[in-house]
Structure 1
């Protein structure tokens, strides 16, 4: 999430055009959907995850098409479902195995669809979309699988959201020094706010939900803050290269699903590794 300048317009949007009331409403709604699915039948969260990632895949496919990169939707979405199911019911080995199989399916699919011209370009783009976000999202299924998987997912989502909120507030109030020309609205002050919020939320939730040590939660939170910021910058690079502002417009006040998933998917693997080590 990019940091914005303070202030709102009479219509409720920020000075940069962001509709903050709509963004907050959508965020609350998504959070409620996640919590409801997790704490009823937790497998329902897999459906929510598959739906969100599926929309993200479609946004990536359409964005790549603007540059003539052809990504086949059917095998990518089929591979996404297979990877999520394999990760949840089979574990990390199944996630990796299904991924490799689907990569070969994509290479063969492209071989018989559009001839030799652009084969490397399209195959590379297809594998990229299979990794970002479906493969990375598979680690959310790995987080969910253990008996305390609900709490692990809540910690993961909470620290990532805390990064966005902490960075936004600190950037609005104190932001003066840009971090990168890739995303000029990100500041070092905003990043400090992200780290502080993530460390606080991570320490509290790991202690409260998982009976872990405060330092364990703080470490998870600090790592999430750094990688969530990297995820935002990666997404900015993709959009700049493709010459588009947002990858979609399905979420009022936010943009596309991938504009929300960017920081989540980049934090998944290290958060999963740390939780597997600690718990």
Structure 2
């Protein structure tokens, strides 16, 4: 759905995190590295097969688009599949730290939350989340007291981070007047943050934003995200939602903050659990959770901003 997970320029696939391979050779199973050049002519390696990443992102974007406009109800299937795939990736990552997820109630409740959010709204989403939380905590009782707190924390984190935040996407598309366009606005603006931050960070990035959490995030990349989001937000709100341009700018700025925080949260999550990528679901991208990072946090941000200002 996105071409990059970084809302502030670069990501953890950069040369700072990968050993150098033979000149002109491949540094990963994904194939040849894509090379850009800075204004002075210095080559910059992106650390990924960028054409493959863009192609797979476009395929996923097309799948989302054609599920949104003919029958928006079908989008519940997309987010339900995302819950199941993401749950598999998160469960594998938690197992590396010896923590156990209640996969069955999380899967059943997470899928139900998507349908409840679309057909019942925010009240039903909250209710389904609460019932699923009770179910996963009850499920874990069978394992005894040893490790209960760490397992319970992992389960509740997963419940909120994955199916609940995905459920806010359903609140966007379920809006009775222009829900489909609200969802498209959300995706376009968040992707604009990723693209603007990615290329600005690679070509101009010098000053580190959060070197301890994600060493490749730069303030120059963040500036690229601000510009990309503001322009995309203004255009989407004016052209698709029939709103004033300044609402689009406010939306863009809010998404920049949400997307950047989402990317940093995912980076911290992976560092703490000792994983490089969450999976290999998408060629050139890594796991599904590696691509959803900024979108997960930006979703509720967009819902709140549009609900208040439009």
* CA shift for structure 1 position 184: 1.0
Q: What does 1:76-115 correspond to in 2, within 5 Å? A: 76-112=106-142, 114-115=143-144
Instruction: Give TM-score scaled by structure 2 length.
Output: 0.86
Query: What root-mean-square deviation, in Å, do the aligned CA atoms of Structure 1 and Structure 2 show?
Result: 1.5
Distance 2:182 2:155 in 1: 30
SS in 1 for 2:252: helix
Query: Does structure 1 retain, via aligned residues, the 8 Å contact 2:83–2:111?
Result: no
1:200 corresponding residue in structure 2: 231
* 3-state SS of paired residue (2:215): coil
Q: Is the 8 A contact 1:176 1:187 kept in 2?
A: yes
Q: What is aligned with 1:123?
A: 152
After superposition, what is the alpha-carbon deviation per residue over 1:145-164, rounded to whole angstroms, capped at 9, x for unaligned? 12311000000011111111
Return 5+ residue gaps in structure 2 as ranges: 16-22, 26-30, 35-44
Q: Which position in structure 2 is the counterpart of 1:217? A: 248
Which of 89, 110, 116 aligns to 1:59? It is: 89
What is the DSSP-based 3-state SS (H/G/I as helix, E as strand, rest coil) of the residue aligned with 2:280?
Answer: coil
Which residue matches 2:306?
A: 275
Residue correspondence of structure 1 range 24-43 to structure 2 within 5 A = 24-43=54-73
* CA deviations over 1:72-115 (Å, ceiling 9, x no partner): 11100111111111111111111111111111111111102x22
Change (3 A) 1:115 1:273: same
Distance in 2, matches of 1:12 and 1:124, equals 40
User: Is 2:175 the counterpart of 1:155?
Assistant: no
Per-residue Cα deviation, 1:165-210 (whole angstroms, up to 9, x for no partner):
0001111111111101211111000000001000000100110001
Q: Deviations over 1:17-44 (max 9, x none)?
A: 3111110001111111111111111111
- Paired position in structure 2 for 1:13: 33
Superposed displacement of residue 16, structure 1? 5.0
Cα shift at 1:278 = 2.3
**Aligned-pair CA distance for 1:53:** 2.7
Is the Cα–Cα contact under 8 Å of residues 165 and 300 in structure 2 kept in the other structure? yes
CA distance in 1, matches of 2:221, 2:149: 39
Which residue in the other structure is 1:144 paired with? 173
Following superposition of structure 1 onto structure 2, how do residues 169-248 of structure 1 map, counting pairs within 5 Å?
169-181=199-211, 182-248=213-279
2: CA distance between counterparts of 1:38 and 1:24?
21
Retained in 1: the 8 A contact 2:83–2:107? Answer: no
Contact 1:23 1:254 survives alignment (8 Å): yes
TM-score for both structures, normalised by structure 1: 0.95
